[in-house]
Amino acid sequence: MKEIKAQLNNFRISPRKARIVCDIVRGKKVKDAIAQLNFTSKRFATPLMKLLKSASDNAKNNFNVTDESNLIVKSIEVNGGPVLKRFMPRARGSSAMIKKRTSRVSLVIIEQTKKTISKVKKTKIKKHE
């Protein structure tokens, strides 16, 4: 089972907002995930779509995967990156700190086989019960 990885580092959106979009994609086929992201109105949908396309291109070029329809998103993880600290003037000469957060996204896709199909179906059944 081949694992294809792609990363997006230091993207200027908070991890909390990025996780909402990543939850839509987790566990789906890459084609279905890209189609879903096309109709998502969140700002992080476009960079995530580019990251998915990059991972599928890595699979084609580096791992000789011929059929893109066999690729599924195994895991996607969003962590916090460096925080930009800015200050806003407040009353009586004081100031308040504003934290501009960044995100680091790690994406892993795998090529779908009969074994992975049964594993994905089992995990979906367990989640819905």
CA 98 to chain centre: 26
pLDDT, position 92: 97
Number of domain units in the chain: 1
CA 7/CA 2 separation, integer angstroms: 17
Show the domain range for 17: 3-128
pLDDT, position 45: 97
Taking only the tens place, the pLDDT of each residue in 36-81 is 999 999 999 999 999 999 999 999 998 888 888 899 999 999 999 9
CATH code where residue 102 lies? 3.90.470.10
CA 8 to chain centre: 9
Percent of the chain's residues with pLDDT above 70: 87
Q: Which residues make Cβ contacts (< 8 Å) with residue 30, sequence separation at least 6?
A: 52, 55, 56, 68, 71, 72, 73, 109
pLDDT, position 14: 97
Q: Are 108 and 8 spatial neighbours (Cβ–Cβ below 8 Å)?
A: no
